[in-house]
Amino acid sequence: MLKQLKSLSEKDWRVRIQRALHHGDRPWQGLLILFSGVVIVLMLVIGGMLWVKSSGSRNAFGLSFLAPTANPNWDPVNNLFQAWPFLYGTLVTSLFAILFALPIGIGIAIFLAELCPPWLRTPLTWLVELLAAIPSVVYGLWGIFVFLPKVVAPIGNFLADTLGRVPLAGALFTGPIPASGASRLAASLILTIMIVPTIAAVSRDVFLAIPPSQREAAKALGATEWETIWQVLIPYGRSGLLGAIILGLGRALGETMAVTMVIGNSIQGGISLLSAGYSMASIIANEFAESVSQLHTDALIEIGLVLFVITLLLNILARFLIWRVARQAPQEARS
C-alpha cells in the first residue's frame, strides 16, 4: 500500500514537472529567447568591447583626437595620434559617393518598380544586386589596374582644369591628380558603384510599397507617367527614400578594402578631392596588424569605435525611416 502510494506520488511529481515544462516547451521557449537575446545584446557587446579597449587612447588624447587640425599628427614612433585626416577622408569620399549614387540609384529604382516590362524586371533586379555581391577586394584589384588609369585619371584632369579654376569651391578640386589616379575622387567613384545596388534595392521596395490608389488618382487627374512619379510617388515615399540614402551612406563609410586600394593612403593631402588621402577603415586595415605600440593599437581601435558609433546611428535612423513607410502604406491602402 505504501509502495503504491509512493510510486503514485513519484509519478505525480514527474507529471507535475512535465506539465510545468509543457512537455519541453518551456525550455524550448527559453532557448529561443536566449539566442534572440544574444543577437540583440551583440551590438552592445561590440560597442562595449571597443570602448574598453580604446581607453588608452581616449585617456591620452581626449576629444582633441577627433578635432579638425591643419597639421595633423600621426606619428606611431613618438606616440602622437590625431584622427582628423581619416575622419575627413571618410566623410568627403562618402558624401561625394552619395551625391553620385543618389540619382543613379533612384533612377534604377523608378525604372525597375514603375516602368520596366515585367519579363525584364527579375533579371535586371538580379544583375543590379550582383553588383553588391562581388567581393570588395575584387573591386579594389579592378580599380587599381583598370578603373584608375582608364576612368579616374581623365575625369580628375578634366575636373582640375574646369572646377579647379573656380575661386573658393575650386579648393576642393585643385589638381593635379596623382599620375596613378589614386585619390579621394577614385575612392568616391568606386564607392558610388558599390552603394548604387543598396540605394536601388531599398528605394525599389519603397516604390513597391506605395499603394496603387496613389498612382491611379494622379493618372485620373491627367498626370503623365513622369509627373506621377515626380509629384506623387517621390513625395509619398520621401522618408523611405531618405532611409535608402542613409543606408547607402552607412555602407560607404564602412567600406574598407576597395577604398584602401584606390585612395592612395597618404596622410598629407590638404582638402582637395583630387589628392591622395586616407579613410578611417583603410588606416585600420593598413596599420592594425603591424602596430608598433599599445597606444597605436588603442588609437586604431578608437577610430574603429568612432566608425561603429557613426554607422550605428545612421543605420538606426535609416531603419526607422524605412519602417515608417512600410507601416503607413498598408493602413492607407485599407482605409
Partner 1 sequence: MSLFSELMDRNRVKRTRQRKTANAGMLTLTGLLTALALVPLFWIIGYVVIQGGKNINLDFFINLPRPLGISGGGVLSAIEGTLVVTLLAAVFAIPPGVLAAFYAARSPNTPLGVALRFSTDVLAGVPSIVVGLFAYTLLVVPMKHYSGLAGGAALAVLMLPTIIRTTEEMLKLVPASLREASLGLGAPEWKTSLRVLLPAASSGIITGFLLALARAVGETAPLLMTALGNERFDIKQIITSGVQSHLSVFQIIGHIINAPVDSLPLTLWKYAQQPYPERVAQAWTVALVLMLFVLIVNVSARVWIQSRTRRMKG
Stretch that binds partner 1, among 9-17, 36-44, 68-76, 79-87 (CB under 8 A): 36-44
Q: What is the nearest approach in angstroms of partner 1 to the Cβ of residue 112?
A: 7
CB 194 within 8 A of CB 250: no
Buried b (16+ CB within 10 A) or exposed e, 184-213: bbbbbbbbbbbbbbbbbbbbbbbbebbbee
Nearer to partner 1, 31 or 271 (CB): 31
Query: How many other CB atoms sit within 10 Å of the CB of residue 62?
Result: 10
**Distance from C-alpha of 84 to C-alpha of 236, rounded to nearest angstrom:** 39
| 3-class secondary structure, 266 | coil
- Cβ atoms of 263 and 186 within 8 Å: the answer is yes
Interface residue with partner 1, options 60, 137, 155, 234 (CB under 8 A): 137
Report if residue 289 touches partner 1, rule: CB under 8 A.
Answer: yes
52 sits near partner 1 (criterion: CB under 8 A): yes
Among 104, 155, 234, 267, binds partner 1 (CB under 8 A): 104
For position 30 contacting partner 1 by CB under 8 A, the verdict is no
**Is residue 329 involved in binding partner 1 (CB under 8 A)?**
no
Q: Does residue 254 interact with partner 1 by CB under 8 A?
A: yes
Across the chain, the runs of DSSP E, i.e. the strands, are 74-75, 80-81
Query: For residues 228 and 323, what is the distance between their CA atoms, to the nearest angstrom?
Result: 23
Half-sphere exposure (CA, 13 Å, Cβ side) for 60?
A: 15
Confirm or reject binding of residue 169 to partner 1 (CB under 8 A): no
Whole-angstrom CA distances from 185 to 152, 248, 333 are: 7, 18, 44
Residue numbers 185-224 binding partner 1 by CB under 8 A? 193, 196-197, 200, 224
Determine the interface stretch with partner 1 among 4-12, 76-84, 111-119, 269-277 (rule: CB under 8 A). 111-119
- Judge contact between 163 and 201, C-beta under 8 A: no
Beta bridge partners of 75: 80
By CB under 8 A, residue 99 contacts partner 1? no
Q: Which is nearer to partner 1, 25 or 169 (CB)?
A: 25
- Which DSSP string do the residues of 71-129 spell out, in sequence order? S--EETTTTEE--HHHHHHHHHHHHHHHHHHHHHHHHHHHIIIIIS-HHHHHHHHHHHH
**Which of the stretches 67-75, 157-165, 171-179, 225-233 binds partner 1 when contact is defined by CB under 8 A?**
225-233
Bridge partners of residue 324, in order along the sequence: none
Stretch 298-317: interaction string toward partner 1, x if CB under 8 A? --xx--x--xx--xx-xxx-
Q: How far apart are the first and last CA of the chain?
A: 70
253 binds partner 1 (CB under 8 A): yes
For the bound state, the minimum distance from the C-beta of residue 139 to partner 1, rounded and expressed in Å, comes to 7
Question: What is the closest distance, in whole angstroms, from the C-beta atom of residue 300 to partner 1 in the complex?
Answer: 8
Nearer to partner 1, 160 or 253 (CB): 253
Cβ atoms within 10 Å, residue 156: 26
Q: Does 126 bind partner 1 (CB under 8 A)?
A: yes
Q: Nearer to partner 1 by C-beta: 66 or 131?
A: 131
Residue 136 near partner 1 by CB under 8 A = yes
58-97 residues in contact with partner 1 (CB under 8 A) are: none
Q: Output the smallest distance, CB 299 to partner 1, in A.
A: 12
| Count of chain residues binding partner 1 (CB under 8 A) | 89
Q: Is 232 in the site for partner 1 (CB under 8 A)?
A: no
**Residue 293 is a binding residue for partner 1 (CB under 8 A):** no
